[in-house]
Structure 1
Amino acid sequence: MQFPAANFTLMLFHYDGVVEGWSDLPWSRRAVHVAAADQTKWWFGKRFLHPDLVAEYDYIFLWDEDIEVDNFDPLRYLDIVRKEGLEISQPALDRRSKIHHQLTARARRGGAVHRRFYKTAGGGRCYGNSTGPPCTGWVEMMVPVFSRAAWRCAWRMIQNDLVFAWGLDFKLGYCAQGDRTMNVGIVDSEYVLHRGIPTLGDAGDGKPAAAAAGRSAVRQRSSTEMQIFNRRWNEAVAEDECWTDPYPEPPTATTKD
């Protein structure tokens, strides 16, 4: 087992009700098992990882299930996180992974950590002076690791009724306990493989058409949830006259006719 019992407590969130199916793994007996049908890890995290309940832990790993950890050592990982001062982090993704954002891919140049991504052509460009996601100050939602303080902040952002948490990733930098371009990063020397297995929306009946329709419905709901999350964020900002945004959006360039 990659996460030694002397240093870690394991909690498995079962969205499919299959709890006994893990009993053949020796470490399963020491894990805490929580089952609720058709839920997501953010739904579970909001309800079972209250910051007061996990306050004795220095870090919270909130990971998906389709992650291979053959090349990952969590103790070495945390040594790097502490040395680099990362409040929110993730292991880099092996380049054989299903990669959605290049910032999360393992850097080719080597090194322990990278904090930004450069893209100077095409859409969504990222430069050395970029200050926000997804160029810097950002991790993906599949394998985030939070410090105790960062998790308390992120937990408060998770909405009870928005179970897929789309949009949350672009706001996590506000929980970085300081400069998000420095306190959020990707650890290259300890990396994982993301298998990219689509499970949400799959009824498990072996019918490809039904599975595809289910995943499409999940994606549509996720997109709707992101719109709701962003609207709530903007409304909260507008209502709080005392709050100053540490990461204001740059002004949009306009031209005169």
Structure 2
Amino acid sequence: MHQEWKKPLKHKNFDLCLSYYGDDKGCFKEQCDFYFESKGTKWPVIKEIIQSLGSEIFHYDAIWFPDDDLRTDATNINRMFEIFMEQGFDLAQPALTKDSFFSHSVTLENENFRWRYTAFVEIMAPVFSRSALKKCWHSFNGNKSGWGLDLLWPKLLGDPEKRIAMIDETPVTHTRAVGGGTLYQYITGSPFDEMAKIEKKYGVDRSTYDLPHYNGVLKDKKLYIMILAHQNEDVLKAQVENIRHFNPNAGIILYNGGSNKNFPENLELAVCPYSRPIKWIYQARVLLDVMRWLEETNVNYEYLVSFDHDMLFIKQGFEEFLDTSMGNVDCMGWQMLMGSERDKYPDPNVPDSLWREWKKWKGIFRTDNFVRYFNPGQVYRRGIIQRMLAYLNHTIKQETLDNLLDNTTVYGFEEMFSVTLAMASGGKCREYPDGNEYNFAVRWGDDLTQEEVSQAINRPAYYWIHPVKGNNLIKTSQWLLGDVPDTKEDIPTNGHADIKSDLQTDVHVEPPKDAHTELQTDVHVVPPDEVHTAPKTNFHVKPDDDIRIDSHKDSHADPHVTQPVNNESKRRGSKERKEIKERKKCERRERREKVKWEGIKRREEKRRERKERKEREKREKRERRV
């Protein structure tokens, strides 16, 4: 197949050396730059050729040793060498296309990556740098089959980190079954026995072949969606299919928040290498870890979106929606609140828990207040992410920050950490259109019903929903993708519909409540045309009047979405009764919640009073002693 390697000839930017082991003398001599004829197996013969060429072979920056049954072309080979040299690899190989014959799954192309860092490359097609070849070529005649040599080479190179790679951007096709080549006729013993001798002599282990890649560089995408999950691969699969259906050009990153490092076992996803077990209410570091990984590997993207395990997309066009909605702002989220707006929080424990630790975090954020987004669907531009990471690098040591994040008890810190850091870094932030409160499409608590999902589809500013959990997520995704009939049994119909027909999107900032009179709020509104700088303590809140959604005037469905079955005319009366019933149920629930939070508030006030009384008594005791 070497004839294909040179096509198109004008793109050939390498020298080709052929070692012919057939019986037709001079068969391919005119088709290459160097020509040798030798019977025998691949690697002992290659060592003989290197000895024949002498120092001439070390004039090359990189040398590739492919098997003769690989299908590729000159353009692909050139690009492989370019990547190899640009990244300074010691040892690499092109990944194998999905239709290739293969021995080790890690060698198969992963379409999420440009290249992946691995513990070895296979003897089928390794690329050596000049320095790596000098260290390894003496081992090429270690046995006849070559089996086990690919375990030895990384050890001879010192197992360098991020210098051994599988290049996914330039895959080749292995066209012949493994072990089916004619060269195996020259092997008298067992290749497995030969590999065992390599293992024993050099202290290497064939279990290395089973290791997955440990890091890599993702392909450039305009939109990356980060999913946090750690169990239930069927649900994750449904989410991934949903994302890929409605956002076919987006990249997906999984943050594995559990202890099972092999999760998921049957999905090809890019897993953040900084993943670690995460407690449900302490997820602040998740988005930060993904941001760091993307920047360390210099991936080009525009938007990073956090996607909870109980979210689904409901229509296409999300990228275009972000372009329009975000304008010149840096981040966007649902229900933006200041820390001082305690009474507006669905759960006052969230701000209260951060105020209790505020002394630890105030020095990092360098402000007297903080900001909060509902966690699902937070969006950050790459530009503000770069500024956030630079801000942290100049503000706190990585080890100190990691220790703070690992030991914080701030409840729901993921809702406050990233957006407050964005604003501390000089970012402009806004809410989603219609995103100033929980409603029928985005809320905490009960799963959305099919009716609510249908309503969200018909609202032009809604592209995703939350929450839909477990099996309900699977069924809802199937319904959205048209895989199941439109029946009441598929998606739950009992829930709470809290539909607001005249939602506002402006952010209203109040001064701190009496409970926090010592804290100051420094917030002002930045007009769209104002030149923005990045002060240390001021918050810049971008108004969203320019992206107003009037739900009364615009009742048309999104043009990209198939309309759900409309049977309102047949069941108008029963639906109105149902809505009244649901509204009353919602009102009762709100009253219960109000009573609950008032009780929490009273207990918190009593706790503060006890604390103040104890401090006052201590003060009085000290004064009496004096």
TM-score by length of 2: 0.29
* Corresponding residue number in structure 1 for 2:132: 150
**Alignment partner of 1:227 is 2:230:** no
Contact 1:137 1:182 in 2 (8 A): no
Give distance in 1, aligned partners of 2:144 and 2:183: 13
Contact 1:93 1:192 in 2 (8 A): yes
Q: In the TM superposition, what is the alpha-carbon distance from 1:188 to its structure 2 partner?
A: 0.7
* Corresponding residue number in structure 1 for 2:93: 90
- Name the SS of the counterpart of 1:227 in structure 2: helix
**Which fold has the larger relative contact order, with Cα–Cα distance below 8 Å and residues 6 or more apart in sequence?**
1
Give distance in 1, aligned partners of 2:188 and 2:93: 23
Q: Tell me: CA distance 1:156–1:21, structure 2 relative to 1, closer, same or farther (3 Å).
A: closer
Contact 1:17 1:36 in 2 (8 A): no
**Alignment partner of 1:41 is 2:35:** no
**Alignment partner of 1:170 is 2:151:** yes
Q: Tell me: CA distance 1:56–1:155, structure 2 relative to 1, closer, same or farther (3 Å).
A: same
- Provide the aligned length of Structure 1 versus Structure 2: 193
- Name the SS of the counterpart of 1:44 in structure 2: helix
Give distance in 1, aligned partners of 2:10 and 2:60: 14
Name which of 7, 17, 23 aligns with 1:17. 23
Give distance in 2, aligned partners of 1:9 and 1:139: 22
Give distance in 1, aligned partners of 2:128 and 2:77: 13
Contact 1:137 1:180 in 2 (8 A): no
Contact 1:72 1:192 in 2 (8 A): no
Name which of 69, 77, 84 aligns with 1:66. 69
Name which of 160, 165, 171 aligns with 1:185. 165
Give distance in 1, aligned partners of 2:87 and 2:190: 37
* Corresponding residue number in structure 2 for 1:159: 141
**Alignment partner of 1:99 is 2:68:** no
RMSD, aligned CA: 2.7
Q: In the TM superposition, what is the alpha-carbon distance from 1:94 to its structure 2 partner?
A: 0.5
Give distance in 1, aligned partners of 2:15 and 2:74: 20
Q: In the TM superposition, what is the alpha-carbon distance from 1:184 to its structure 2 partner?
A: 0.2
- Name the SS of the counterpart of 2:79 in structure 1: helix
Query: After alignment, is 217-226 or 184-193 more displaced?
Result: 217-226
After superposition, what is the alpha-carbon deviation per residue over 1:124-181, rounded to whole angstroms, capped at 9, x for unaligned?
xxxxxxxxxxxx3211111110000111111122236x222211111211244x6534
Greater share of helix: 2
- Name the SS of the counterpart of 1:73 in structure 2: helix
State the one-letter code of the partner of 2:36.
V
Q: Tell me: CA distance 1:73–1:232, structure 2 relative to 1, closer, same or farther (3 Å).
A: same
Give distance in 2, aligned partners of 1:229 and 1:179: 17
After superposition, what is the alpha-carbon deviation per residue over 1:185-205, rounded to whole angstroms, capped at 9, x for unaligned?
011111100012522357xxx
Name which of 28, 44, 55 aligns with 1:52. 55
Give distance in 1, aligned partners of 2:56 and 2:73: 30
* Corresponding residue number in structure 2 for 1:195: 175
Give distance in 1, aligned partners of 2:43 and 2:159: 25
Give distance in 1, aligned partners of 2:147 and 2:82: 30
- Name the SS of the counterpart of 2:44 in structure 1: helix
Give distance in 2, aligned partners of 1:19 and 1:91: 31
Give distance in 1, aligned partners of 2:10 and 2:43: 24
Contact 1:96 1:193 in 2 (8 A): yes
Contact 1:72 1:190 in 2 (8 A): no
- Name the SS of the counterpart of 1:33 in structure 2: strand
State the one-letter code of the partner of 1:174.
K
Give distance in 2, aligned partners of 1:96 and 1:143: 17
**Structure 1, unpaired ranges of 5+:** 116-135, 203-213, 235-257
Give distance in 2, aligned partners of 1:113 and 1:196: 24
Contact 1:19 1:33 in 2 (8 A): no
**Identical residues among aligned pairs (%):** 24
Q: Tell me: CA distance 1:174–1:72, structure 2 relative to 1, closer, same or farther (3 Å).
A: farther
- Name the SS of the counterpart of 2:59 in structure 1: coil
Give distance in 1, aligned partners of 2:159 and 2:148: 20
* Corresponding residue number in structure 2 for 1:137: 119
Give distance in 1, aligned partners of 2:200 and 2:96: 31
Give distance in 2, aligned partners of 1:7 and 1:32: 15
Give distance in 2, aligned partners of 1:94 and 1:219: 31
Contact 1:139 1:184 in 2 (8 A): yes
Q: Tell me: CA distance 1:219–1:46, structure 2 relative to 1, closer, same or farther (3 Å).
A: same
Give distance in 2, aligned partners of 1:193 and 1:148: 26
- Higher-Rg structure is 2
Contact 1:92 1:191 in 2 (8 A): yes
Contact 2:152 2:202 in 1 (8 A): no
- Name the SS of the counterpart of 1:172 in structure 2: helix
Q: Tell me: CA distance 1:201–1:149, structure 2 relative to 1, closer, same or farther (3 Å).
A: closer
Give distance in 2, aligned partners of 1:5 and 1:68: 16
Q: In the TM superposition, what is the alpha-carbon distance from 1:19 to its structure 2 partner?
A: 4.0
